[in-house]
């Protein structure tokens, strides 16, 4: 049986009396209470609550850490963050103390949501319906602005004045309605609860402010402002026949005033074709060797300008429409579990007049259907048909196909695997580092995987997937102590401090011969265990203090 949606898991922690009863739209048709009078919730308290929610998200089966798609989303997210910092929308204290992390859900409904503490959620369904990078970036900039203007903290202050049982009923009803509107209606009962349900939506003033600030952030990052208007147009059309697939419409209802305001902000006269990169920008190759080092999930990437002076967008390239089409196709396929739908995409993508995105979807669908040779054939044909800046993105797909289980590779396929391995190991993006390391393991070169990933986690210590692959590499080398420590670091990266402490203890309990053979690593394990135990004690004491 398929797991409950990611948002259903969140309700558990949100309804506990140990946690403030607050929630931002995570995949449901409604979001947060309206604006409070003050900002009583401190930045530290908001971050702690966000971390609690994120910890549950990381455990949910609907949580997706896809390095290729994650790199692309970060290529949109990081320039937006940089622009918000440069404009003063994100002051230094917020820049340093909030998470500013993306979490991705497999949910194919169209939604994005801001969570306490600076976490931003994106459903695959939202990525799938967008046609240009600036459309997706416009939604992300809007949600970023809800965080930067501290709308969530203000509304949580308002929530604190309500009875916990009442807020719990409201949140439960909002979440349940995401999957079943009848259940949602039944969950919110009683005249006072029904009256309070209206507070679950962002206020009109908040929506207008997030539009205004978000538009400035979007254009300040170099994206075409038409992305805001075209995304509004998409949503307005969808609202006429929404069957529940667009929960974002209900948490962020469109009004004529909002649409008119965005149109008025656009410059008069021609500004270039919609979707074209902004003047002076460069196209970005996802998973290629020249892109910026990016991450996803629980990673925090420190940009120049986010922690102090400098140009926050220096060295970042503007994603192209060609790459966006491939990533939208990837999102469609990754969100779909129906073999019939995958076979339909496979058939459509094989036609002579198929677009690049359709061909990408066909190749990925063939891979998910277990047809590796066909997937490889389709991906190779696609590589020769896409724009040059999109070829590294297809190369990443080719490597995924070659790494998939199946019959032994032919001589030519093995040669392709070796070539792509070298290309990825030399790259700087997260996808290239992780795929290159996996290729090194597959070709019997664990030391090369270790070298690449040790350098990566030194810069990105919260990359849980990198630590997992590194653990496999250490195991192949016979380094039990290092392998178990990497498992512990992977759990700590996802804020599972109890699980991390347990693995550190297992490492310390290894036979003396294995521990003494790597004295430096053992010292690191001892130190890290103490650090993580301190984090675990802090979280336990915080929960006890709320009871």
Spatial separation of the C-alpha atoms in residues 47 and 74, rounded to whole Å: 21
User: 302-331 burial by CB neighbour count: b if 16+ within 10 A, else e?
Assistant: ebbbbeeeeebbeebbbbbbbbbbbbbbbb
Structure token pair of residue 446: 């664990």
Q: How long, in residues, is the chain?
A: 547
- For residue 420, the model assigns a pLDDT of 98
488 confidence band (pLDDT: 50, 70, 90):
very high
Q: Which of 116-120, 263-267, 471-475 has the lowest mean pLDDT?
A: 263-267
Spatial separation of the C-alpha atoms in residues 366 and 351, rounded to whole Å: 14
3-state secondary structure 111-143: CEEEEHHHEEEEEHHHHHHCCCHHHHHHHHHHH
101, pLDDT greater than 60: yes
DSSP code for 332:
H
Spatial separation of the C-alpha atoms in residues 30 and 197, rounded to whole Å: 9
Measure the CA angle with vertex 338, ends 63 and 140; round to 5°. 40
- For residue 445, the model assigns a pLDDT of 98
Spatial separation of the C-alpha atoms in residues 364 and 110, rounded to whole Å: 21
304, pLDDT greater than 50: no
Spatial separation of the C-alpha atoms in residues 229 and 258, rounded to whole Å: 10
**pLDDT, the chain, mean:** 79
Which stretches of 244-387 are DSSP H helices?
247-251, 256-265, 321-334, 339-349, 356-368, 372-383
Spatial separation of the C-alpha atoms in residues 494 and 288, rounded to whole Å: 27
- For residue 264, the model assigns a pLDDT of 85
Spatial separation of the C-alpha atoms in residues 521 and 505, rounded to whole Å: 14
Structure token pair of residue 279: 């003047």
Name, in order, each residue with C-beta under 8 angstroms of 262's C-beta and a sequence gap of 6 or more.
211, 215, 228, 229, 232
- Report CA 248 to chain centroid distance, whole Å: 17
Spatial separation of the C-alpha atoms in residues 237 and 240, rounded to whole Å: 6
Q: Are 506 and 484 in contact (CB under 8 A)?
A: yes
DSSP code for 246:
-
Q: Which of 11-20, 37-46, 178-187 has the lowest mean pLDDT?
A: 11-20
Q: Are 345 and 117 in contact (CB under 8 A)?
A: no
User: 406-422 pLDDT, tens per residue?
Assistant: 899 999 999 999 999 99
Query: Whose structure tokens read 């506990």?
Result: 16
Q: Are 42 and 156 in contact (CB under 8 A)?
A: no
Spatial separation of the C-alpha atoms in residues 455 and 443, rounded to whole Å: 20
End-to-end CA distance of the chain: 35
Q: Are 301 and 294 in contact (CB under 8 A)?
A: yes
Element spanning 318, H or E: strand 318-319
Q: Are 398 and 431 in contact (CB under 8 A)?
A: no
User: 147-196 pLDDT, tens per residue?
Assistant: 898 877 777 666 555 433 343 334 334 433 444 433 333 333 333 333 33
- For residue 237, the model assigns a pLDDT of 79
Structure token pair of residue 393: 């993105």
3-state secondary structure 359-422: HHHHHHHHHHCCCHHHHHHHHHHHHCCCCHHHHHHHHHHHHHHHHCCCCCCCHHHHHHHHHHHH
Spatial separation of the C-alpha atoms in residues 296 and 307, rounded to whole Å: 19
Percent of the chain's residues with pLDDT above 90: 56
pTM: 0.81
- For residue 15, the model assigns a pLDDT of 30
| Rg, the chain, Cα only | 23
DSSP code for 159:
H
Q: Which residues pair with 120 in a beta bridge?
A: 102, 114
User: 82-119 burial by CB neighbour count: b if 16+ within 10 A, else e?
Assistant: bbbbbeebbeeebbeebbbbbbbbbbbbbbbbbbbbbb
Q: Which of 43-47, 128-132, 510-514 has the lowest mean pLDDT?
A: 43-47
Structure token pair of residue 378: 């389709």
Helix, strand, coil proportions of the chain in percent (round to 5)?
Answer: 65, 5, 35
Alpha-carbon dihedral angle through residues 300, 303, 306, 309, given to the nearest 10 degrees: 160
Spatial separation of the C-alpha atoms in residues 504 and 484, rounded to whole Å: 7
- For residue 157, the model assigns a pLDDT of 67
Q: Are 495 and 54 in contact (CB under 8 A)?
A: yes
Percent of the chain's residues with pLDDT above 70: 71
Spatial separation of the C-alpha atoms in residues 400 and 173, rounded to whole Å: 41
């Amino acid at each position: 049986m398929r797991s409950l949606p990611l948002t259903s898991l969140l309700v558990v922690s949100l309804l506990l009396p140990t946690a403030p009863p607050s929630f931002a739209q995570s995949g449901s048709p409604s979001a947060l209470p309206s604006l409070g009078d003050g900002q009583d919730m401190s930045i530290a308290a908001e971050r702690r609550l966000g971390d609690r929610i994120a910890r549950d998200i990381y455990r949910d089966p609907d949580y997706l850490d896809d390095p290729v798609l994650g790199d692309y989303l970060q290529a949109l997210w990081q320039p937006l963050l940089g622009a918000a910092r440069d404009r003063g929308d994100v002051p230094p204290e917020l820049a340093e103390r909030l998470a500013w992390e993306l979490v991705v859900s497999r949910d194919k409904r169209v939604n994005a949501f801001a969570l306490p503490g600076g976490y931003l959620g994106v459903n695959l369904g939202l990525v799938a319906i967008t046609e240009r990078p600036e459309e997706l970036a416009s939604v992300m900039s809007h949600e970023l602005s809800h965080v930067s203007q501290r709308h969530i903290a203000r509304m949580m202050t308002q929530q604190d004045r309500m009875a916990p049982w009442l807020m719990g009923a409201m949140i439960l009803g909002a979440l349940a309605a995401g999957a079943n509107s009848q259940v949602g209606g039944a969950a919110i009962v009683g005249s006072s609860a029904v009256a309070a349900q209206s507070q679950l939506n962002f206020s009109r003033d908040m929506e207008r402010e997030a539009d205004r600030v978000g538009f400035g952030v979007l254009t300040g990052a170099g994206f075409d402002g038409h992305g805001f208007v075209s995304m509004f147009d998409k949503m307005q059309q969808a609202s006429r026949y929404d069957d529940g697939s667009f929960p974002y419409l209900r948490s962020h209802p469109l009004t004529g005033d909002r649409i008119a305001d965005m149109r008025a902000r656009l410059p008069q006269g021609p500004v270039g074709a919609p979707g074209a990169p902004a003047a002076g920008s460069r196209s970005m190759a996802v998973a290629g060797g020249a892109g910026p080092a990016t991450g996803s999930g629980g990673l925090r990437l420190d940009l120049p300008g986010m922690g102090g002076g400098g140009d926050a967008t220096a060295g970042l390239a503007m994603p192209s429409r060609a790459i966006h089409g491939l990533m939208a196709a990837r999102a469609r396929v990754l969100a779909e579990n129906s073999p019939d739908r995958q076979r339909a995409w496979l058939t459509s993508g094989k036609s002579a007049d198929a677009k690049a995105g359709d061909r990408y979807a066909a190749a990925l669908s063939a891979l998910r259907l277990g047809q590796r040779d066909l997937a490889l054939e389709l991906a190779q044909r696609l590589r020769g048909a896409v724009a040059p800046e999109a070829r590294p993105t297809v190369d990443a797909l080719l490597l995924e196909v070659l790494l998939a289980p199946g019959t032994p590779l032919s001589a030519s396929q093995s040669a392709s695997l070796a070539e792509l391995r070298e290309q990825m190991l030399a790259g700087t993006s997260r996808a290239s580092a992780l795929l290159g390391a996996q290729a090194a393991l597959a070709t019997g070169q664990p030391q090369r995987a270790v070298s690449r990933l040790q350098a990566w986690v030194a810069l990105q210590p919260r990359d849980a997937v990198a630590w997992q692959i590194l653990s496999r590499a250490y195991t192949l080398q016979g380094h039990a102590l290092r392998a178990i420590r990497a498992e512990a670091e992977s759990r700590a990266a996802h804020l599972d401090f109890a699980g991390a402490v347990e693995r550190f203890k297992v490492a310390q309990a290894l036979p003396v011969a294995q521990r003494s053979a790597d004295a430096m690593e053992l010292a690191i394990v001892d130190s890290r265990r103490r650090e993580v135990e301190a984090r675990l004690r802090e979280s336990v004491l915080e929960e006890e203090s709320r009871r």
